[in-house]
Amino acid sequence: MKWWFGITLWKRVLGALVLGIVFGLAVQQFMGEGGEGFLESYIRPYGDIFIALIRMMIVPLIFTTLVAGVVAMKEPAKLGTLGLMTVGLYLVTTFFANVIGLVFGTIMRPGAGAAEALSGATPEAISQTAPSGWDRILEIIQNPAAAMADANILAIIFFALLFGIGILLAGEKGDLVGKFFESASEAVLKVTAIVMEFAPFGVFALISYTTVAYGIEAFQSIFWLILTVYLGLFVHVILIYGGLIKVILRLPAIRFFRGIFDAQAVAFSTASSSATLPVTITNARRNLGVKKGVAGSVLPLGATINMDGTALYLGILALFAAQAFGIELTLANYFMIALTAAIVSIGAAGIPSASLFLLATVLSTFGASPEQIALVVGFILPVDRVMDMARTVVNVTGDAAVATTVAKWEGELDEETFRDPATI
């Protein structure tokens, strides 16, 4: 097995990704309709086990690394600067995601001629109600044990920040607790590294099943929309995140993308920013040189509020619906779509297809009826997973780009590690 571990992890994951697609297509070709049942029974469980393993790491990783990160800062006031910088960067990248989504939706017109296809879709009703601001605040401020049991990331972040500040304010009496969490965060990262050794097998299982479950035929009626979304997401990653690293930070962009490939592959396989978080933190620290104070605070926050892929996707879907139903949009409508998509994407649940449940809010900005909204959701739902996988990659890449930027500006980036190819 020495040869296996001699191959860098991202190459093993990439190979598993390609082999999973090939294997899934081969099973579909030779087994026909029985292929999905075969993969679901004998192959997909390995993927489910991998997801369970990385989900297992989410709570201990966030809590220990964030507390250790706060303790490492030594100054509670520094958290305010770090937080404002982080949120500001996430808002800026979300703005550009909105613009790119609307540009691609306008140029490529994915909804033109889709009226007939929509008429054959089964309406899928979704809720248009959203929790109030007070409800969201109460979700953040809750029993720490309950928050950990529910994996409520924002609540865990809130308590971990308070706990870390408490350790700093305790002075010498809190030193022992601070050292414990520093050691605990390192131990949890080692466990995460062990879990990541299962990534190639989990990715292979998940991708092979997804390939058969959706199949090529399912994409034909919605191909132009999928292409529009993928192109928009690709351009956003290259121009915005690549530009941020290369132009603003003056660091090698290719090195950045290679450094987070493991996280991107897991994000593509699971379509979940939250499930990918342990991998993102590990990649940021080990491959990009982001120190634990920044990685432990910026990345968990990003997994919750940074949803650039979702914002871009919602903008394209809004234009798709307007074009399909023949609704003429004004400049004011475009502005409201962009604003609403940005707002509802912030804090969107880091789970597969969460953005579809936000679609009703965006479409209602230009007067789409509940029946039209239900038709759009029914049309997209069968293949939303395919687009969800891509936009999760964008979200995770954005988290890493912002963490790298904040670390660089705060003097918390080990550039030697970032530039060293041997670390991947």
Looking up residue 69, the CATH number of its domain turns out to be: 1.10.3860.10
How far is the C-alpha of 352 from the C-alpha of 206, rounded, in Å?
A: 13
Kindly compute the dihedral angle of the four CA atoms of residues 156, 157, 159, 164, in this order, to the nearest 10 degrees: 130
Angle at 193 between CA 14 and CA 79, to 5 degrees: 105
Q: What share of the chain is helix, strand, coil (3-state, %, to 5)?
A: 80, 0, 15
Split the chain (424 residues) into runs of 10 and give each run's mean pLDDT: 76 86 88 83 89 84 82 71 83 90 91 63 51 62 74 77 88 88 87 86 87 64 85 96 95 94 88 84 92 84 82 90 86 86 65 62 79 77 80 94 94 89 68
Q: What are the tokens at 349?
A: 């649940």
pLDDT at 243: 95
How far is the C-alpha of 57 from the C-alpha of 59, rounded, in Å?
A: 6
For residue 340, give every residue at least 6 positions away whose Cβ sits within 8 Å of its Cβ, in sequence order, or none: 314, 361, 362, 365
For residue 376, give every residue at least 6 positions away whose Cβ sits within 8 Å of its Cβ, in sequence order, or none: 118, 121, 317, 320, 321, 324, 359, 363, 368
| Long-range contacts, stretch 179-185, CB < 8 angstroms, 24+ apart | 181/64, 181/67, 181/68, 181/71, 182/68, 182/71, 182/72, 184/60, 184/64, 184/68, 185/61, 185/64, 185/65, 185/67, 185/68, 185/69, 185/292, 185/296
Contact 292/68 with Cβ under 8 angstroms? yes
pLDDT at 405: 95
In the chain, the number of structural domains is 1
Contact 268/43 with Cβ under 8 angstroms? no
Closest CA to 402 of 258, 276, 288: 288
Q: Give the domain extent around 38.
A: 2-423
pLDDT at 350: 47
Task: Match 């997994």 to its residue by tokens.
Answer: 303
What phi, psi does 413 have (nearest 5°)? -115, 125
How far is the C-alpha of 259 from the C-alpha of 287, rounded, in Å?
A: 5
